[in-house]
Structure 1
Amino acid sequence: METENLPVVLLHGIRVSGTMWGPLAERLRERHRVVAPDLPGHGRRRGERFTMDGAVDAVAEAVDGLGGRALVAGLSLGGFVGIAAAARHPGRVAGLVAMGCTTRPEGFGRAVYRTAGRLAGRWPAYADAAGALAFRRALPGPAAGAVLAGGLSSAAFPQAVEAVCAFDPVAALAAYPGPVWLANGTRDPFRSHERAFLRACRDGRLVLWPGRGHLGALHDPALPARLVLDAAALARDARARDADVRA
């Protein structure tokens, strides 16, 4: 039977880096091994081209570095990447926590999303400066400091937007057999299709954080900490029960 706590892989949002998870990782490391890799085009991988395939490869590499099986948790872009990684590598992803990503860009929203990406990619220095100001205003000091510690990468914004627009997260969730936690702040505009995402999951549950917006998991790291700790324990125990049944 598995008794060791599951390792955890944390996936960051668009144009930021793995440092954004610093306050959460600090809480989790009391019980778990934790890594927060930089996705292509972001952080220490700034200058690389972002693709969904490349991002999924980065997740697989991070999981392998932790022993080959882990809980994967991501916010926004990181949530979409986590969904893609779970569908492609179900043997590596013991459980999935996808935060702030239960929407499918379509119609007017898709056009706005793409326009924002193109503008950020055309003037990345200005977009980085504006983004840094927005994060400092939206988040408490330690959280903003963690987000900005790895630098911003607006040059990767249009590539990431196109990758998300071309991705079918509902189909990917339907392909993944493991446990899934979909988490949203009730004021997050990126929760518009959460019920369709939930129905697609074979073993899914929806967690709502009252009064929180898209950055709620960063604003109050206690929220994702409780969720990830519970999810890791449940995913570990489910894996152990499955192993006992096969034995």
Structure 2
Amino acid sequence: MVHGIRTSATMWRAQVEHLSARGIPAVAVDLPGHGTRMGETFTLEGAFATIDDAVRRAAEAGPVLLVGHSMGGLVSTAYMGQDARPPVDAFIAASCTAIPRGLALATYRALAGGFDRLPGRGSAIAEWVLDRTLPLETREDFGAGGYAYDAQDTALRSLSVLDLLAALRRIDVPTWFVNGQYDQLRVNEKLFVSLVPQAELIVVPRTSHLVTAMRPRVFNAVLDLALATMDAAPRRSPTDPVDSGSTAGT
């Protein structure tokens, strides 16, 4: 599971607990410059390497479900759409159906920079919003790993080089795009779904960009759907590089 910008692996605590209760191994990573790696510099190369390492370790045990949110979803989409297909059996991309280029990206960077110049880097406003939108069960999880303010603009700027349209066309596993009804990144959701043959779109009513934390039970149900789809899929042949006889992992 790959977190969004500024936050960290702790945003996935509700999902990790849900999967653990089902006996399913799950790993939430910290990207460079975030969480336990706050002192590092964010680079796309480092982000891809982090995802690839986690995926390949999981693939040694069985089928793999990759899950990404926001920036983590965009980077994971690019990772999934490489020329060399990664050992991933299903993919969930949450709150990330927008092309991070041009005026939209410039506007987002400008807004983020404006918040950065406020007292406390705008944290009081952010905390006020989170207090009023997230349930108590996930409220502390979202920021428990700290906020990567220093990595924010570097990470946003780096996203502009991703060729997501080409990547989407190469994704050939069951895929779910999950958006909140009021998510600002829904703008290209129909395009994203149209480019991935096995894709479905799930829009969660009365929910913002922070769909994993705002509606954790709904998002956990999407995880269950993906895992059930993986369990029902034909097993790989013995010549394939990943043994799929074990329990699916995330």
Pair in the same fold by TM > 0.5: yes
- The two structures, once aligned, show a CA RMSD in angstroms of 2.4
- Aligned with 2:81: secondary structure? helix
Contact 1:121 1:155 in 2 (8 A): no
Give the structure-1-normalised TM-score. 0.86
Q: Which residue of 2 aligns with 1:221?
A: 216
Q: How many residues align?
A: 236
Q: 1:124: Cα distance to partner?
A: 9.7
| Larger proportion of helix | 1
* Alpha-carbon distance in structure 2 between the residues aligned to 1:78 and 1:236: 25
Contact 1:120 1:154 in 2 (8 A): no
* Alpha-carbon distance in structure 2 between the residues aligned to 1:111 and 1:67: 37
Contact 1:103 1:192 in 2 (8 A): yes
Q: Which residue of 2 aligns with 1:212?
A: 207
- Aligned with 2:39: secondary structure? coil
Deviates more, 1:119-128 or 1:222-231: 119-128
Q: Which residue of 2 aligns with 1:4?
A: none
| Pair 1:83-2:77 in alignment | yes
CA distance 1:53–1:237, change in 2 (3 Å): farther
Q: 1:106: Cα distance to partner?
A: 4.3
Mapping for residues 26-41 of structure 1, pairs under 5 Å:
26-31=17-22, 32-41=24-33
- Structure 1 residue runs without a partner (length 5+): 1-9
- Greater RCO, CA 8 A, separation 6+: 2
Contact 2:208 2:214 in 1 (8 A): no
Q: Which residue of 1 aligns with 2:37?
A: 45
* Alpha-carbon distance in structure 1 between the residues aligned to 2:71 and 2:111: 15
Mapping for residues 67-106 of structure 1, pairs under 5 Å:
67-68=59-60, 69-88=63-82, 90-106=85-101
Contact 2:9 2:145 in 1 (8 A): yes
CA deviations over 1:8-52 (Å, ceiling 9, x no partner): xx1111100000111121111123100101011100010211122
Q: Counterpart amino acid of 1:53?
A: E
Quick one: percent identity of the two aligned structures? Answer: 32
Q: Counterpart amino acid of 1:19?
A: T
| Pair 1:59-2:51 in alignment | yes
